[in-house]
């Protein structure tokens, strides 16, 4: 077996490529240009869209400048860290670094990120609802419950994609189908 096809080489290549993608994402997302042009508008969109979800279930809410405001019931701040970017970056990096066929990994990365963003909208809406109706649950939901759900969902999503990816692994990748 050639050096490039050895399983340890393949795992190392996958790991290094995934790590480089994550580092590149965090380097870009730490820049002022990203924060102003992408980060802040995305957080405001998250607040507005989560507010719209709450309105669908009859909750009176106004979103403004990244905040979800409730008449007389307080508010939550949708800020950096409330954007699911870490989970999305990790999922996309693992998916794109895997030696699967070209198009299928880009489709999987896009679909997975979309699902993580959708879950994040539900998360933010549920946290706002908890803050308005049962503030004593807010901290538990914010720190413990939703963190675990996000990690488990991202792992489950990648695990569900993995067998599909194996069927499309490049023949020279050393990954058995």
Query: Is 80 part of any domain?
Result: yes
Query: Is 176 part of any domain?
Result: no
Q: Residue 69: beta bridge partners?
A: 62, 75
Query: What pLDDT was estimated at residue 54?
Result: 87
Query: What pLDDT was estimated at residue 168?
Result: 60
Instruction: Give tens-digit pLDDT for 98-110.
Output: 887 778 889 999 9
Domain count, the chain: 1
Query: Is 23 part of any domain?
Result: yes
Distance CA 18, CA 12 (A): 10
Ranges of the chain whose pLDDT falls below 70 = 1-5, 63-66, 68-74, 168-177
Q: Taking a C-beta distance cutoff of 8 angstroms, is the pair 97, 89 a contact?
A: no
Contacts of 70 (CB under 8 A, 6+ apart): 59, 60, 61, 62, 128, 131, 132
Query: What pLDDT was estimated at residue 137?
Result: 94
Query: Is 42 part of any domain?
Result: yes
Burial class (CB within 10 angstroms; exposed 0-12, middle 13-18, buried 19+) of 50: buried
Query: What pLDDT was estimated at residue 170?
Result: 54
Query: Is 175 part of any domain?
Result: no
Instruction: Give tens-digit pLDDT for 64-95.
Output: 666 766 645 668 888 888 889 989 999 999 99
Distance CA 89, CA 24 (A): 10
Query: Is 136 part of any domain?
Result: yes
Query: What pLDDT was estimated at residue 71?
Result: 45
Please name which of 116, 119, 118, 50 lies closest in space to residue 86, comparing C-alpha atoms. 116
Domain that holds residue 29: 3-170
Q: What is the DSSP letter of 105?
A: H
Query: What pLDDT was estimated at residue 140?
Result: 96
Cα-flanking dihedrals φ and ψ of residue 100, to 5°?
-90, 170
């Amino acid at each position: 077996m050639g050096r490039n096809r050895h399983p340890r080489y393949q795992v190392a290549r996958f790991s290094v490529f995934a790590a480089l993608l994550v580092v590149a994402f965090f380097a870009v997302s730490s820049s002022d240009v990203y924060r102003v042009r992408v980060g802040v508008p995305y957080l405001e969109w998250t607040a507005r869209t989560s507010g719209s979800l709450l309105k669908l279930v009859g909750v009176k809410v106004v979103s403004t400048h990244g905040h979800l405001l409730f008449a007389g019931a307080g508010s939550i701040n949708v800020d950096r860290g409330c954007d699911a970017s870490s989970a999305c970056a990790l999922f996309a990096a693992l998916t794109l670094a895997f030696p699967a066929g070209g198009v299928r990994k880009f489709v999987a990365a896009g679909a997975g990120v979309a699902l993580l963003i959708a879950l994040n909208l539900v998360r933010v809406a549920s946290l706002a609802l908890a803050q308005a109706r049962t503030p004593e649950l807010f901290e538990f939901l914010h720190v413990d419950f939703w963190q675990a759900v996000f990690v488990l969902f991202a792992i489950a999503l990648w695990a569900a994609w993995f067998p599909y990816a194996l069927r499309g692994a490049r023949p020279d990748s050393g990954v058995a189908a």
